[in-house]
Structure 1
Amino acid sequence: MPGEIEFGQQAVLHIFFNLFVLVIVWWSLQAFKFDVLVRHPQGAKGTMLFFLVAIAITHLVSSFFLEYLNQALNLRYFF
């Protein structure tokens, strides 16, 4: 039973951290000029591209930090 609780806590942490990073990435991408790269940035394709770029960057950033956290927590088994 304790293992299931830890997995549940870890899942909730991952979900909320991913959402937190998504908000930060979305906010910071607002400063990027997509109209230079995309013909119609306000159209459906431009919006979808913006959304997919935000998700891709979110995945990279959150994976890095969550993996770092996981490895830092595993250091206790080293000593």
Structure 2
Amino acid sequence: MDSNLKNNLVGSMGVSGLISIIVSLICIGLSWWALQNLKLDLFIRFPKSAQGKLLHLLLAIVLGHFVAKFLLDYLSWSQMVKYMF
């Protein structure tokens, strides 16, 4: 019985990790798409250069990470509400 509980826990952690990866990648992709509309030439001298593209990518990763963290936290909090009643 103890082994069954361990297997369920490991499986649950694996699914949780996979969901986190998928949500993070989707949010980074959506952030990249949304940042395409941002006029970086107002802040960067050469937005088409390698450095400008790298900055664009890093902004998408940071923004996507924060959005994904919010969504995953919200999902976790909403699952905890059932223990309130």
TM-score using structure 2 length: 0.88
What is the CA distance between 1:77 and its match in structure 2?
1.6
Q: Which residue of 2 aligns with 1:34?
A: 40
Aligned pair 1:45/2:13, yes or no? no
- Matched residue count: 79
Kindly, what percent of the aligned residue pairs are identical?
Answer: 32
2:29 and 2:60 in contact (8 A); partners too: no
Listed as ranges, the gaps of 5+ residues in structure 1 are: none
Aligned pair 1:68/2:71, yes or no? no
Whole-Å Cα distance in 2 between the matches of residues 54 and 30 of structure 1? 10
What does 1:1-16 align with in structure 2 at a 5 Å threshold? 1-16=7-22
Q: Which residue of 1 aligns with 2:28?
A: 22
Q: Which residue of 2 aligns with 1:59?
A: 65
RMSD: 0.8
Listed as ranges, the gaps of 5+ residues in structure 2 are: 1-6
TM-score using structure 1 length: 0.94
